[in-house]
Amino acid sequence: MRLLPALVFGMLMLPLAAYANDPDSYAQPDQVRVTHLDLDLTIDFPHKQLDGLATLKLDWMNPKAQSLVLDTRDLKIARVEALAADGKATPLSYALAPRDKQLGSKLTIVTPKHPAQVRIVYTTSPEASGLQWLTPAQTSDRKLPFMFSQSESIHARSWVPLQDSPAIRFTYHAHVRAPTDVRVVMSAINDAKHPLNGDFSFDQPHPIPSYLLALGAGDIAVKETGPRSAVYAEPSVVAKAAHEFEDTEKLIAATEQLYGPYAWDRYDILVLPPSFPFGGMENPNMTFATPTVLVGDKSLVSLVSHELAHSWSGNLVTSAAWRDIWLNEGFTTYVQGRITEAVYGRALADEEALLSAHALQKSIGAMPANAQKLAPDPRGIGADDALSDVAYDKGSWLLRTLEQRFGRDNFDAYLKGYFRHFAFQSITTEQMLGYMKPNLIEKYPGKMDMEEVKAWVYGQGIPKNAPLPDSPRFNAIDRERTDFLAGKLAADKLDAKSWNTQEWMYFLDRLPDVAPLDKLQQLDAAWHLTGTPNAEIGMRWYSHAIAAGDKAAWPAAAEHMVRIGRLYLTTPLYKAFVKTPEGLAYAEQVYAKARPGYHPMTQQAVEGILAKAKAAKH
């Protein structure tokens, strides 16, 4: 990608040519744009594939354009056709380029007559990077197979041929066939009462980018949580999930009060099997969520606050390229905190903000210089790599700074106007700054200047004057941790009976990277951390135990790694194990057992950790 045009304050829309060279897409939206997708799919569980027919409605931008260029990855193309207004199909010539490891294969369709619609008949690969196929044994209820998609960042191209760039938004209609005992859901309005007849139809009337295209199918039950919300999950999980997420309607109402009406009609949640690689995915109308947040006490429902917040920041106003993904994730993490505060109180919101800020402070210095920037230099960061703690936590920290400088009421009014102004658009960092200058910086002079804002956006690290909230409970935990490590306070005398999940996370996060083994053994004897059902605590605990050489914790750590496919909760344990030869060998054994249940993204990440460790040995 070439450098984006120089910032012109007050310019609210950039020409589409500004997005034409998205380095993560072969698409050429300055030539032609996809505006609507008609998708016809058959889910083939035995062969782990989708048989697809994708009809793309096109808006030709350049009258001299000779071709339609699409993104694909590992798709088998059967034929490509132009569709006339009367439905008559005419074959089109096409070429599928050799596979690029990162971007997949460019599909070039020869279209000198500029058809209004192009239809592609294709089949996905069993190894599609954006799909996971689970056998009944890999699900919670062990009765039916399960499949789900994960299109972010550039994995939609592995199950639909399209312009796979966040700059390009389209509406869609889908018709999906599946076995008659399977429920199918998508990132559209879902009918909780739809019969399990093997025939499902979906409409998404709002224009969305390709990474928000989502599909799931399996033994899925439904339980309503409010007039416009429901939980979808396997039958054995659905009641527990509905209880955990029973405040969903409160969360929606709280966000509407802050930032304006919810634009998507319904907000449902699909709780996936444990192999889902992320905490949640903000697919419109239906968040896909990890079961690791189902701990029984609602202590991790900030995940719902986060994915719901995306209905404003990300789904409504979208980053135009992965380089700008902080516009999605940083804004969403800030809004998440405001939702959590409104529903569960300021103390919890502050604790979560401190946890993320401290983690970023610890990690950012080891990152490459370009990766430390909210808006990195072009081509420096790949699409998947852009989804880092910098985008989430440095981005939200900037917004908390703006709130503090301009006052909450003024900043809320600004943010509400921002969402309204750019609704259903994909924008760049420069467009966001261009809107901010007259509508915040100049509207309230003397609070913060644009140079300081741009230092946050384009600079490395975290500004020294970045504000942090205060947490009296965290301060007390700091004192107890210090006394415990100094031998002044026994493990069983820690005031931990009242600690919530976040407070345990904070206590463990601030232990030394390699804590004394005897201290960890005392903690475990007092608080029974080995075997914890809470995955957030478990990830931290096992990482410390492995680093300290506590082999007694290895079997429980292995069980955690096999059971959970969420990247954030699993890869730290592999990283801890591979630091010693014996640990590396053990990690390879665990991975051999865990691999069949991992998502392709998790497999790739773990295999990278193991390969790097083995290379370092030689």
409 backbone dihedrals φ, ψ, rounded to 5°: -60, -45
Instruction: Enumerate the active-site residues.
Output: 307, 392
| Among 373, 338, 368, 555, CA closest to 456 | 373
Q: Quick one: 22-209 is in which CATH superfamily?
A: tricorn interacting facor f3 domain (2.60.40.1730)
Residue type for 141, please? Answer: D
In the DSSP assignment, the letter for residue 163 is: -
pLDDT of residue 17: 45
- Rounded distance between C-alpha atoms, residue 456 and residue 49, angstroms: 44
CA 234 centroid distance within chain: 22
| Domain range annotation of the chain | 22-209, 220-311, 317-458, 472-617
CB-CB contact of 204 with 238 (8 Å): no
| Among 279, 144, 294, CA closest to 219 | 144
pLDDT of residue 557: 98
pLDDT of residue 523: 98
- Rounded distance between C-alpha atoms, residue 99 and residue 155, angstroms: 14
Give the DSSP letter string of 305-362. Answer: HHHHHTTTBTTTEEESSGGGTHHHHHHHHHHHHHHHHHHH-HHHHHHHHHHHHHHHHH
In the DSSP assignment, the letter for residue 513 is: S
Residue with tokens 């009976």: 497
- Rounded distance between C-alpha atoms, residue 189 and residue 187, angstroms: 7
- Rounded distance between C-alpha atoms, residue 472 and residue 352, angstroms: 13
21 backbone dihedrals φ, ψ, rounded to 5°: -110, 40
Block means of pLDDT (10 residues each) for the chain, 618 residues, are 28 44 92 98 98 98 97 98 93 98 97 97 97 93 96 97 98 98 97 96 98 98 96 98 96 97 97 93 97 92 95 97 96 98 96 97 94 86 80 98 98 98 97 98 97 97 95 98 98 97 98 97 98 96 98 98 96 98 98 94 96 90
- What's the CATH number for 472-617? 1.25.40.320
pLDDT tens digit string along 459-513? 999 999 999 999 999 999 999 999 999 999 999 999 999 999 999 999 999 999 9
pLDDT of residue 11: 32
pLDDT of residue 85: 85
- Rounded distance between C-alpha atoms, residue 396 and residue 466, angstroms: 11
DSSP-derived pairing of the beta strands 286-289 and 280-281? antiparallel
Question: Which helix (H) or strand (E) segment is 268 a member of?
Answer: strand 268-271
Cα–Cα distance list, 427 to 315, 360, 417 (Å): 12, 26, 15
pLDDT of residue 115: 97
Give the DSSP letter string of 92-159. Answer: --EEEPPPBTTTBEEEEEE-TT--SEEEEEEE--TT-TTEEEE-GGGSSS-SS-EEEE--TTTTGGGT
- Rounded distance between C-alpha atoms, residue 347 and residue 340, angstroms: 10
Any bridge partners for residue 131, and if so which? Answer: 149
Yes or no: is domain 317-458 CATH 1.10.3080.10? no
361's CB contacts (< 8 A; 6+ apart) are: 462
- Orientation angle between helical segments 554-563 and 535-548, nearest 10 degrees: 140
CA 97 centroid distance within chain: 29
**What is the fold, at CATH topology level, of the domain defined by 220-311?**
Zincin-like (3.30.2010)
